[in-house]
Structure 1
Amino acid sequence: MSKNMTINYLEVPTSNIAATKAFFTNVFNWSFTDYGEEYVAFSTAEMEGGFYLSETLSLRANGAALIVFYTDELEKTQILIEQANGKITEPVFDFPGGRRFHFTEPGGSEFAVWSDN
């Protein structure tokens, strides 16, 4: 697959870099590289990106794009998120093609998780 004209890197705001790193390490097993006190890069098998320190967060209510994760086990993933201090902002609901829920990570930005199960 060509990298030409594809999304190459994702940057997301956070109000707390340390809490965000801990959350994504515990729930999604991401690894991080620190670049000073206001930026941390992450790397997964599927993508690369970073979190930057900001008072303005990524929330749909503010018009932000929603980043959605996929899981085979929706309820298990929700438990992991809650145990890692994520907050469920929209409980599980059905939509055409599956089910999903929304959450904020400890740094305050909003994400979603969906499953076709």
Structure 2
Amino acid sequence: MLTTDYVPGAPNWLDLGTPDTDTAAAFYTGLFGWTSESAGPDAGGYGFFKKDRETVAALGPLHEEGARPAWTPYFHTTDASGTAALVAEAGGTVRTEPFDVFDEGRMAQFTDPGGARFAVWQPGKTQGLEAVTEQGTLCWVELHTPDPVANIAFYHTVFAWTAKEMSFSGGTYTVLSTAGPGGEGSFGGMAPLQQGHDVPQWLPYFEVADCDQVVARAEKLGASVLMPATTAEDIGRMAWLADPAGAHFAVITSANPATAA
């Protein structure tokens, strides 16, 4: 499961690229009860989402030409430049070369061979998100890709992740874990693209107390429902949504939440 004890390859940051940060902030604060605050006058419009004064996500204006509104997960690295070299060697694209973010850390942005965007964060003063796997915070990330087999190989090269096929009532699912023994490093999964509304992407899941209530509130706030609330045995009740600008995300009421609401 996700924790804030970050190890190499684990998700340690999450931000939203959007054309209108004020509108996005109003939507997500209304949906999850977050607060939003600016990162400062020199941050180019970047800001943070907070829950109980802890950073749970971030947002900023879109800068890349042709970029669509989307959530981007960042994965922990101790060497952003070394990770960038591995991405290129494994067939990915380095969209933004590693650079320092003041003295907070070092980052780089990539696209995997299947077309999904992701990034890395090499901690400086900022280690990463301050709360995860709690109500109203990130609890899982899921890669939607046209070629799961090829992407498993890519991410294994870059992060040394392991992949395990898990069976459930609806079929099989690939669970991703950071390097190391046992399943304690599981942080996300991988699934083939769903026909009709899906694009290659990393989909963040946020833990909520009542999936159906959150979906109804999201619709009132201007979201679109991509996948209606559905129950997966032993996993929980989940739904896929698109915010008013079109960025995809998911909410889940876990069957066995790691942290009580």
Task: Give the shorter-chain TM-score range.
Answer: 0.7 to 0.9
What is the number of equivalent residue pairs in this alignment?
117
**Quick check: which one's helix share is greater?**
1
- 1:1-117 equivalences under 5 Å are 3-5=5-7, 7-34=11-38, 35=40, 38-45=45-52, 47-54=55-62, 55-58=67-70, 61-96=198-233, 97-116=235-254
Q: What's the RMSD between the two structures over aligned residues?
A: 2.6
The unaligned stretches of length 5 or more in structure 2 are: 72-143, 145-197, 256-261
Deviations 1:19-59 (A, max 9, x none): 11001111111111124563221122464331121242227
Contact 1:16 1:106 in 2 (8 A): no
Q: Which runs of 4+ in 1 moved over 4 A?
A: none
**AA matched with 2:68:** T
Instruction: Measure the CA separation in 1 of the matches of 2:4 and 2:243.
Output: 32
Shift of 1:66: 0.9
Aligned-partner SS, 2:12: coil
**AA matched with 2:217:** L
Contact 2:6 2:12 in 1 (8 A): no
Larger Rg: 2
Deviations 1:92-111 (A, max 9, x none): 22324222111111232111
Compared with structure 1, are the counterparts of its residues 8 and 2 closer, same or farther at alpha carbon in structure 2 (3 Å cutoff)? closer
Compared with structure 1, are the counterparts of its residues 43 and 116 closer, same or farther at alpha carbon in structure 2 (3 Å cutoff)? closer
Shift of 1:4: 4.2
Q: Percent identity?
A: 19
**AA matched with 1:20:** A
Compared with structure 1, are the counterparts of its residues 38 and 68 closer, same or farther at alpha carbon in structure 2 (3 Å cutoff)? same
Q: Which has the higher contact order (CA 8 A, sep 6+)?
A: 1
Compared with structure 1, are the counterparts of its residues 4 and 25 closer, same or farther at alpha carbon in structure 2 (3 Å cutoff)? closer
**AA matched with 1:79:** A
**Quick check: which one's strand share is greater?**
2
Contact 2:48 2:55 in 1 (8 A): no
The unaligned stretches of length 5 or more in structure 1 are: none
State the TM-score, normalizing by the size of structure 1.
0.79
Contact 2:237 2:254 in 1 (8 A): yes
Compared with structure 1, are the counterparts of its residues 102 and 4 closer, same or farther at alpha carbon in structure 2 (3 Å cutoff)? closer
